[in-house]
Amino acid sequence: MITIKESTYDDIRNIQSLWADEDVMKYIWPGGLQETEDSVREWLDRHNNAGPVQKHYSIFEDGKYCGETQYGIDEATRSAALDIKLFKSAWGRGIATRALEYSIAEALKNGAETVWVDPRPDNTRAIALYSRLGFVQKEMPDHVIAMGEDPKIFTYMELGKEKTGRICEVQKNSYTIKFMGREIPAKLKKSFYEEEADKLPVVGDYVTFELNLLGDSMIKSVCERKSLLQRPDQAKTGVMQYMVANVDYVFIVTSLNDDYSYNRIARYASVAIQGGAIPVAILTKSDLCSNVGRYIREVESISDKIRVHAISAIYGIGLDELQDYFIPGTTICLMGSSGAGKSTLINSIAGEEIMKTSEIREDDSKGRHTTTYRQLIELKNGVYIIDTPGMREIGMAETQEGIDEVFSDIMELERCCRFSNCRHDTEPGCAIKAAIENGELSEERYILYKSLGAENTRNYALKKEISKWSKARKKFNNKNDLY
């Protein structure tokens, strides 16, 4: 876990060691800088006495000192100079990015309007890092030169006006962007309203935007997605609902009580695979189930593409199995019914209560709604969690590839039928019928496969029909606007 805290006298020897390191100081003070404890103490006092316009932070990973980051705000220009130094052992693990984001957020919060750095031109690692964070190279301003910086020696880089953040919440036409540790309210630029629904930002999207610290920022574009989960909108037949983007794993959370549904897990898995994510079935409340092994085997039989874990978040059973998923930068989306234990699972993962929880109803084992909208949460360990409202049903549309992946064994059997157009009914040489008869394939699983495929076909055809009429109406309205 990465920890960033304001430096104190306890950190003086760490700072001394950092400054004396040749690798750290290569581009600043070749050979390292040797300072006494008293000189570092005096230097630290000046920072601490300056108030919020100047701060120095020490960086730790799992309790081990890694380096420092700091900022200083010039109150006349409202610009903040930023710096970071890390021991070589901490390079390349995302620590610098997290520390810089923290320092930038603190500078902006405490009055800075712009943030700048000035690495040497040959410090290519630093320049690449700053570029990824949105810094752009510019001509060095006069006030920076007046501070003693030399444009012939240093490359001036300023945090650009157009920044990149991540959508963490969507409420109708209002968006919230997670940026540098802050949550920024934002609206869409007008051209978005001429786009198809799948081009609008959803929770998990990375977007470029113009930062406005006094009101709503303006979302300019949606960055390329690596995954997008969707389902038919339950309120608008034939219309797709685009749920979340850039997800690595979908945790299909279902409790081992009356909420459990083999059918629903297969549906979620199909949606996850179709969208480009890995499905992971999380069977919660295992402490209340007397035959956990049976459920694990049953879910595993759905597909070899699904990973399965049985846990009890309350008693900590099975949580250690999930640690492999919690790699900094990973995004996990939780889906499942209300009361299945999603919020309890998040709290257990985070080690603190960051989500409200509610009990299930005793009469039907169904949950009360806790999460009412999708939201992205960043945990202290750098893992992103997307929580979603409870869904007891999830329809199929535009998910044929996902269905085929989940039921890839059935697809393989169909290829073994004697006739390529086999309906798996009375035809001779049918591999599906033979597999059912010899117990290789359960009839229930085959029926589920056919049912999901038929539902997907119906909904997809309906969506195409509605889309055609929608485009015709839009064309008609645009034509009439000319008169």
pLDDT at 63: 92
What fold is seen in the domain 241-387?
Rossmann fold (3.40.50)
Query: Rounded mean pLDDT of 209-236?
Result: 84
- Round to whole Å and give the CA distance between 455 and 464: 14
Q: What are phi and psi of 246, to 5 degrees?
A: 60, 45
Q: How many CA atoms lie within 13 A of 218 on its CB side?
A: 8
pLDDT at 170: 93
With tokens 């393989």, the residue in question is 412
Q: Which has the higher per-residue pLDDT, 355 or 248?
A: 248
What fold is seen in the domain 400-474?
Ribonucleotide Reductase Protein R1; domain 1 (1.10.40)
- Round to whole Å and give the CA distance between 47 and 56: 7
With tokens 């535009």, the residue in question is 398
What fold is seen in the domain 162-222?
OB fold (Dihydrolipoamide Acetyltransferase, E2P) (2.40.50)
User: What average pLDDT is seen over the chain?
Assistant: 84
pLDDT at 460: 57
Question: What would the two tokens of residue 112 be?
Answer: 């800075």
pLDDT at 45: 92
Q: How many CA atoms lie within 13 A of 258 on its CB side?
A: 8
Which string of DSSP letters, residue by residue, matches 358-400? -PBPTTT-PBPP---S-EEEE-TTS-EEEE----S----SS-H
Q: What are phi and psi of 433, to 5 degrees?
A: -60, -40
CA-wise closest residue to 40 among 59, 64, 58: 58
Q: What are phi and psi of 80, to 5 degrees?
A: -115, 125
Q: Which residues pair with 117 in a beta bridge?
A: 157
- Round to whole Å and give the CA distance between 176 and 386: 14
pLDDT at 373: 72
Q: What are phi and psi of 176, to 5 degrees?
A: -120, 130
In sign, the C-alpha dihedral spanning 247, 405, 388, 467 is positive
- Report residue 360's pLDDT band, with 50, 70 and 90 as the boundaries: very low
Q: Which residues pair with 376 in a beta bridge?
A: 386
pLDDT at 15: 96
Rounded to the nearest 10°, the torsion over CA 313, 315, 317, 319 is: 40
CATH 3.40.630.30 fits 2-159, yes or no: yes
- Report residue 232's pLDDT band, with 50, 70 and 90 as the boundaries: confident
Residue 312 is classified by DSSP as: B
pLDDT at 333: 94
99-113, 288-302, 459-473, range with the lowest pLDDT: 459-473
pLDDT at 364: 45
Query: Rounded mean pLDDT of 111-135?
Result: 90
38-42, 131-135, 160-164, 325-329, range with the lowest pLDDT: 160-164
**Would you say 282 and 311 are in contact if contact means Cβ atoms under 8 Å apart?**
yes
Question: What would the two tokens of residue 281 be?
Answer: 């079935």
Tell me the pLDDT tens digit for each residue of 186-195: 999 988 988 8
Q: Which residues contact 319 (CB under 8 A, 6 or more apart)?
A: 311, 313, 348, 349
Which amino acid, residue 412? E
pLDDT at 380: 80
- Report residue 233's pLDDT band, with 50, 70 and 90 as the boundaries: low
Question: Domain ranges in the chain?
Answer: 2-159, 162-222, 241-387, 400-474
CA-wise closest residue to 308 among 196, 318, 139, 317: 318
pLDDT at 462: 53
- Round to whole Å and give the CA distance between 306 and 369: 26
CA-wise closest residue to 420 among 430, 408, 435: 430
With tokens 């839009």, the residue in question is 474
pLDDT at 482: 43
- Round to whole Å and give the CA distance between 391 and 396: 14
With tokens 């033979």, the residue in question is 434
pLDDT at 100: 92
Buried b (16+ CB within 10 A) or exposed e, 302-314: bbebbbbbbbbbe
